[in-house]
Amino acid sequence: MVIKGAKILDLSKEKIMEGDLKITQGRIVEIGKGLSDRDIIEANGLYLLYGMIDLHTYLGIAEDGVGFREFDLNESSDVTTPQIQTSYAIHPEDPAIKESLSWGITNVVVLPGSSNVIAGTGAYIHTHGKNIQELLIKEPCCMKVVFTKTPVYYHGKKSLKTKMYAYSIFRKKLLEAKNYLSKPEKKRDKTRDDLFMLSKVLKKEIPLFVEVHRMADIERILMLKDEFGFDLVFLGCTEAHLAVDILKEYDIPCILGPLMIAGKEHESRNTTFKSCKILEENGITFSLSHSQSENPVKLLRFLAMYAHKAGMSRWGALRAITKNGYEILKDGERGNIEPGKIADIVAFDGDPLSWKTKVVWTMIGGQIVHRGEL
């Protein structure tokens, strides 16, 4: 297949190339001019951007149109549930999945909700597929831990009153997992799925996605990283702009958001789109996310527009909804329109950072799987 006459956005080289794109067996193989193939798609000047990605969604487990009572979002039976795997609750027919696809989001991470100190593991999925097997790219891809006040709100009547105790619970679980790993494999308790999953974190097989807002919590988690040595990514992180020195020192990436909120919560009162410019200027890798809170996943591109309006560079804003997310997941097969990458591509009828621009078609794995926006 050859896509002819496109404006191809190269996120690495920060340039737009006008030409053709050749795709073979689902991968980009060549970019140039005058390319030919039996299967031709005429782009006629469409802008091609790599497929967007949101690393903190509840797609398929907090389904659109079913009501809160039907959500498989928060497992409140325990304060720590590291054994939870979100794929068991993902409903592939959630309308929001197809809607996100139609707006150019080709891949997402589905995480459990934020009710527990250790919430469970995440699933890395496509936004196109008839069943969970077709959707799934990797599971587990991470483990979510929460150090906002939300777990205290959920469990305050029974088992959790303060953030102090939340930290002690988490550290105790890490120590249990460390002890679990110290035993010969034959002597490990096979019924302890919680410790088995946590051991993947300690062995650095999957990163720890830690949801925080305040600078003080960022510092505390980094102390635990020093003690246990896990790979770390910060979620939420709305005070990241106040913690740039320590984030630079540790080279910790962030998943920033939600930023489109009123800021009425005490922990997130310092939320600002100016964070994006500050993080970019300090060389901190981050991706943008709605965290599927007040705004639907499909509006991810609007975060990049606001980030650019708040002073972030155009290319940096585009990378924050594409390339950076794949880098945070260490997915070397995706992230930019260049030879060797899987062809997850979105075609726009104009500049992707323009409010008037719309998606013309969305491609996953070299196949156009949706046309237009829902």
For residue 227, which amino acid is it?
E
For the chain of 374 residues, list the mean pLDDT of each consecutive stretch of 10.
98 97 98 96 98 97 81 91 96 95 98 96 97 97 96 88 95 98 95 97 98 94 97 95 95 94 76 95 97 87 97 98 98 98 98 97 98 96
> What was the pLDDT predicted at 266?
78
**CATH code for the structural domain at 52-334:** 3.20.20.140
> What was the pLDDT predicted at 263?
65
Residue 169 to residue 158: CA distance in whole angstroms: 14
Residue 192 to residue 228: CA distance in whole angstroms: 20
> What was the pLDDT predicted at 262?
65
> What was the pLDDT predicted at 44?
97
Q: Does domain 1-51+336-374 have CATH number 3.30.70.1060?
A: no
Helix 193-202 and helix 163-182, axial crossing angle in degrees, nearest 10: 90
Domain residue ranges in the chain: 1-51+336-374, 52-334
> What was the pLDDT predicted at 320?
98
Name every residue whose Cβ is closer than 8 Å to that of residue 143 and which is 6 or more positions away in sequence. 82, 118, 120, 121, 122, 197, 198, 200, 201, 206, 207, 208, 209
Buried b (16+ CB within 10 A) or exposed e, 118-156: bbbbbbbbbbbbeebeebbbebbbbbbbbbbbbbbebbe
Answer left, alpha or beta for residue 65, where phi above 0 means left and psi between -120 and 50 means alpha. Answer: left
Number of helices and strands (H, E) in the chain? 11, 16
Closest CA to 26 of 365, 350, 268: 365
Residue 145 to residue 114: CA distance in whole angstroms: 8
> What was the pLDDT predicted at 67?
74
Q: How many degrees, rounded to 5, is the angle at CA 114 between CA 308 and CA 98?
A: 60
